[in-house]
């Protein structure tokens, strides 16, 4: 189970890093594509992992280790689910950290910090944590087929929610939360960096020649004032 978590994340990060280098696309768009893919694949991977976990208990003694405990029968089940959660958290954090390390290795102009990549991993894990409970229950109650079918269905729904069909509807589907929230977070951090750079450039311009800046600002103010008066006059004439 651990190697499934680790292998999928390492392979995914490596493939998208190779894609970004080969296609020579902006790393921001590659990260957004990577986040979308992780959000789509996550339910199916979770279903496979829960299915394998339940199959191990079935082969070990027909669930005797989980359900035949003399005291606190459900504590063994909770420990199993907590183990899956911890592995999922580690895999989610590792997925974004590996991608960030690859982008840092290319010495790209755009990149996020370690903290921001960790937040991306937390967003992915928190929004998908409930899926482990559902898949584990389905695997134990109805078998591996129902668990795998649920995971694939959730992946398909998550993919559809990234199209125009998901506009205004994705918040009603838990399997679509992670992808959209990750995209919003990446765009928010990117736009905040752009505004920060613009603010620094503006400060440098003011320090270099404040008179030129004040003259430009006064001209823009006069332009906006005249435009506002013209629009107001047009409204008065139209009203009359």
Q: What angle do CA 193, 195, 196 make, to 5 degrees?
A: 60
Mean pLDDT of 104-111: 75
Closest CA to 158 of 169, 146, 142: 169
Closest CA to 38 of 183, 135, 140: 183
Would the pLDDT of 125 be above 60?
yes
191-201 b/e (C-beta count within 10 Å ≥ 16 → b) = eeeeeeeeeee
pLDDT digits (tens, 9 = 90+) for 132-159: 888 888 888 888 888 899 999 999 999 9
- pLDDT of res. 153: 93
Helices (H), the chain: 2-23, 27-61, 64-67, 73-105, 114-141, 144-160, 177-208, 210-239
Average pLDDT of the chain, as a whole number: 75
Evaluate whether 166 touches 36 at the Cβ level (below 8 Å): no
Q: How far is CA 239 from the centre of its chain?
A: 51
Task: Please report how the helices 2-23 and 27-61 are oriented relative to each other, as an axis angle in degrees rounded to 10.
Answer: 160
Secondary structure class of 169 (helix, strand, coil): coil
């Amino acid at each position: 189970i651990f190697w499934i978590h680790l292998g999928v994340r390492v392979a995914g990060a490596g493939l998208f890093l190779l894609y970004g280098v080969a296609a020579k696309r902006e790393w921001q768009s590659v990260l957004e594509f990577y986040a979308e893919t992780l959000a789509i694949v996550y339910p199916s991977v979770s279903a496979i992992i829960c299915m394998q976990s339940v199959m191990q208990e079935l082969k070990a003694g027909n669930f005797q280790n989980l359900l035949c405990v003399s005291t606190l029968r459900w504590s063994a089940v909770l420990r199993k689910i907590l183990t899956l959660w911890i592995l999922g958290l580690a895999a989610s954090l590792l997925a974004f950290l590996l991608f960030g390390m690859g982008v840092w290795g290319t010495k790209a102009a755009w990149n996020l910090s370690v903290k921001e990549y960790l937040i991306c991993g937390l967003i992915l894990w928190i929004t998908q944590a409930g899926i482990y409970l559902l898949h584990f229950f389905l695997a134990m109650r109805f078998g591996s087929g129902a668990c795998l079918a649920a995971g694939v269905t959730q992946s398909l729904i998550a993919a559809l929610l990234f199209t125009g069909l998901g506009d205004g509807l994705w918040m009603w589907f838990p399997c679509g939360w992670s992808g959209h929230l990750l995209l919003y977070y990446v765009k928010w951090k990117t736009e905040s960096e752009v505004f920060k750079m613009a603010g620094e450039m503006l400060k440098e311009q003011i320090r270099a020649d404040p008179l030129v800046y004040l003259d430009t600002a006064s001209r823009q103010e006069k332009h906006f004032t005249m435009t506002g008066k013209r629009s107001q006059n047009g409204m008065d004439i139209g009203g009359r």
